[in-house]
Amino acid sequence: MLQPATSPGALKTANLSHNLLPPLDRDGWVFLALFVFVTALLFWAWWPLGWAGVVLSLWCAYFFRDPARVCPAGPNWVLSPADGIVSGIGPAVPPAEIGLGSTAQTRISVFMNVFNVHVNRSPVDGEIAAIAYRKGRFFNASLDKASEFNERNALRIQTSAGASLGVVQIAGLVARRIRCDRKVGDMVFAGQKFGLIRFGSRVDVYLPAGIAPLVNVGQIMVAGETVLADLAGGRERPAVMR
Which of 214, 235, 233, 210 has the alpha carbon at shortest distance from 105?
Answer: 210
* Closest to 220 measured CA to CA, from 111, 86, 118: 86
Considering Cα of 197, then 226, then 132, then 209, what sign does the dihedral take? negative
Active site residue 201: yes
The one-letter code for the residue type at 64 is: F
* Spatial separation of the C-alpha atoms in residues 93 and 30, rounded to whole Å: 37
How many Å apart are CA 12 and CA 40, to the nearest integer? 35
Cα–Cα distance between 24 and 225 in angstroms, integer? 19
> What are phi and psi for residue 163, nearest 5 degrees?
-80, 145
How far is residue 122 CA from its own chain's centroid? Answer: 8
**Residue of 57, 87, 164, 201 marked active site:** 201
Decide: 53 and 35 in contact? Cβ < 8 Å.
Answer: yes
Identify residue 121 by its one-letter amino acid code: R
Distance CA 218, CA 7 (A): 42
Catalytic amino acids?
Answer: 201
